[in-house]
Structure 1
Amino acid sequence: PDESRESQTTPPASRNDPSASDFQFMITGGYRPHTNDLVKYVVSLRMGKSKKFFGDNHFCAVLRQPLTTPIYRPLQSPQAHAQKINGHRWNAEEAGEKQHHSNCRSEEAYTAPQVQKGKIAKFDIGLVLVKKDLNLGDAVASMPLYDKAPVAGVPCTIVGWGTVIQYGPLPDEVINGEVKVLPDTFCQKLLGWTKVGMLCANDKRNTEVDSCQGDSGGPLICDNKVAGVVSFGTGCGEPDSAGIYTDVYHFRDWINENSCPRRPCPTLTLLTLMQLLLAFLGFFTGIW
């Protein structure tokens, strides 16, 4: 790949100037654009109520297209072998400008299973199905999934409300960071893992740029498509390290199979149509 390719969302020219008013040491090592065109693709998933301060019950997520189903890290459940997770309620607040937002409630949550030596483990990805359609527009939008396996060197953008430093405070606005996908061999050597369906990324010139607590489930955006989901890392912005992401392309079939139609036909309507069809066939059978 062309290492000189510029990211779809470029940081401000003053990014490396700590005294600049638009420079924010967040996500970590990220920046706050004057106009953030990516914020409309991010949602804030929150479980229950805030405990100590507003937003401390926050999860991060991304809207995919054409369905309004956030993709984010798997939900914890005592039923380790269950694909469908019940018993929890999440509030999803769509992102956008402070004046442009909408609340919705989730209905069901699913995680992707993995069979290993007769046991079912879980990948770090899940789907949340919302009860009703979201109001998409200029401030709230969905993003398509990456349609190919991410190649090393591809420039990407991470977006989220994660802490500014490890175990630090949360920002009040979405923060961006620029990274590049790393070769699998680099990730295996550096981090010692070989898990299928995962990828890693960082900024080799500035390893402080990284996702952190609160960014989990947020998008890794490459070529204006969702290529990864923030999973975990060794600290936040540590030297000679990288962030670990779930490879969305690897799970595209599972995502499509477990996503509901845009406007599903109600069961009652289907039954009524079937009854009418049977009656229609029975009528003509009687004539003949």
Structure 2
Amino acid sequence: MCSIEKILVSIVLINILQLETYLCTKNNSKIIMEDAQEKYKFLITAGYRPKIDNLAKYVVSLRGKKYKRFFGDNHGCGGSIISPKVILTAAHCVCRGDSRIELKPLRPSDLLVVAGTPRRLVVTEKTQALKVDKVICHAYYDPKTFHNDIALLLLIKNIYEDGVSAQRISLQTSSLPPHTKCTVLGWGQIFTKGPLPDLILHADIYIMPNEFCKERANDFFFGMMCANDENDFEKDSCVGDSGGPLICNGSVAGIVSFGYGCGAPDEAGFYTNVSSYRDWIRKNGLDKLRPVNYILLIVLQICITEN
């Protein structure tokens, strides 16, 4: 009886200690967050969190197949849902090699797509973790210049679209004029070499004229575009935002590609211009059935014919 009483007392003390630890952690986190907000803006770089987020449902987190210490610490890039089974991203996120000749896609088994949540580190009831069936890199992607920095991931299973936590986004079909307002969002570093956020961040920036982009890039090719905010140079995409969308007028117009620092003065972020690759996207990803589906269709047709 004595031992049982000791056990019960121990359980009560442990629960009290856990409750105190939780409350202390919660209060400390609140103090740290308030202090941080006073010292600097929460960046994407220089981003914000909208009260009602209507864009995060289009974005996925591309990760390694296993996290190291905690859920979400294996986040590498972003991506856009353009069909329940197709993710649009940057080639440099999923293709490896020092030159176009040596370029190889990552093994599908080494990748995981997480959809349905704006949280990077928290598993919610809406979180969807999906395996990749195939990685398709643009055949002419050049890792040295980031020319043709575009890739597709074909998923094994469909993303469940509820229109609130996960939803496909349409493709921009034509090039947009300079100074069009757009939004870039992702889980990238909040400043150069800084931490990655848990909750996805947004930044409103503007498409810049090609002349502006050419002056700020060593190589500026067809299919590239750049964007920034001339009145607030800190607004920018950063490491970890790669592959994510630049959304303009409700469609994905750009893919985060590269930049020279994050939020550097008189610089801009560079993006793959989606409208330049719409035919490539449709040919290689949209409405594409997996080979096993063709086999099943043939078997089904044979069965129907025999019956």
Matched, 1:228 2:254: yes
| Alignment correspondent of 1:90 | 111
- C-alpha distance in structure 1 between counterparts of 2:70 and 2:299, whole Å: 50
Matched, 1:100 2:119: no
Shift of 1:147: 1.3
Q: CA RMSD in A?
A: 3.0
Matched, 1:255 2:285: no
- C-alpha distance in structure 1 between counterparts of 2:72 and 2:81, whole Å: 23
Matched, 1:30 2:51: no
Q: Which has the larger radius of gyration?
A: 2
User: Which runs of no fewer than 5 residues in structure 1 stay unpaired?
Assistant: 1-17, 280-288
| Alignment correspondent of 1:65 | 82
Equivalent residue runs for 1:66-145 within 5 Å? 66-74=83-91, 75-78=94-97, 80-81=100-101, 85=105, 87-88=107-108, 89-96=110-117, 98-114=124-140, 123-137=148-162, 138-145=164-171
Shift of 1:195: 1.4
Contact 1:199 1:245 in 2 (8 A): yes
User: Which runs of no fewer than 5 residues in structure 2 stay unpaired?
Assistant: 1-34, 119-123
- C-alpha distance in structure 2 between counterparts of 1:262 and 1:57, whole Å: 29
Contact 1:105 1:131 in 2 (8 A): yes
Shift of 1:48: 3.2
| Alignment correspondent of 1:14 | none
Q: Greater helix share, 1 or 2?
A: 2
Equivalent position amino acid for 2:192 in 1 = Q
- C-alpha distance in structure 1 between counterparts of 2:149 and 2:45, whole Å: 21
Equivalent position amino acid for 1:123 in 2 = N
Mean Cα displacement is larger for which, 171-180 or 84-93? 84-93
Call closer, same or farther: CA 1:223–1:277 in 2, change over 3 Å.
Answer: same
- SS of aligned partner of 1:169: coil
Shift of 1:63: 3.1
Call closer, same or farther: CA 1:59–1:115 in 2, change over 3 Å.
Answer: closer
Shift of 1:258: 0.4
Equivalent residue runs for 1:1-288 within 5 Å? 24-51=41-68, 54-74=71-91, 75-78=94-97, 80-81=100-101, 85=105, 87-88=107-108, 89-96=110-117, 98-114=124-140, 123-137=148-162, 138-261=164-287, 266-272=293-299
Residues 20-47 of structure 1 deviation map (CA, whole Å, 9 limit, x = unaligned): 79x9421011111122111111101101
Call closer, same or farther: CA 1:190–1:260 in 2, change over 3 Å.
Answer: closer
- C-alpha distance in structure 2 between counterparts of 1:50 and 1:269, whole Å: 35
Contact 2:83 2:286 in 1 (8 A): no
- C-alpha distance in structure 2 between counterparts of 1:31 and 1:115, whole Å: 32
- SS of aligned partner of 1:65: strand
Percent of aligned positions that are identical: 34
Shift of 1:158: 0.4
Call closer, same or farther: CA 1:274–1:172 in 2, change over 3 Å.
Answer: closer
Contact 2:100 2:140 in 1 (8 A): no
Shift of 1:263: 6.2
Shift of 1:236: 0.3
Call closer, same or farther: CA 1:269–1:227 in 2, change over 3 Å.
Answer: same
- C-alpha distance in structure 2 between counterparts of 1:243 and 1:201, whole Å: 6
TM-score after normalising by structure 2: 0.75
Equivalent position amino acid for 2:282 in 1 = N
Contact 1:68 1:142 in 2 (8 A): no
Mean Cα displacement is larger for which, 32-41 or 86-95? 86-95
- SS of aligned partner of 1:70: strand
Mean Cα displacement is larger for which, 164-173 or 65-74? 65-74
Equivalent position amino acid for 1:188 in 2 = K
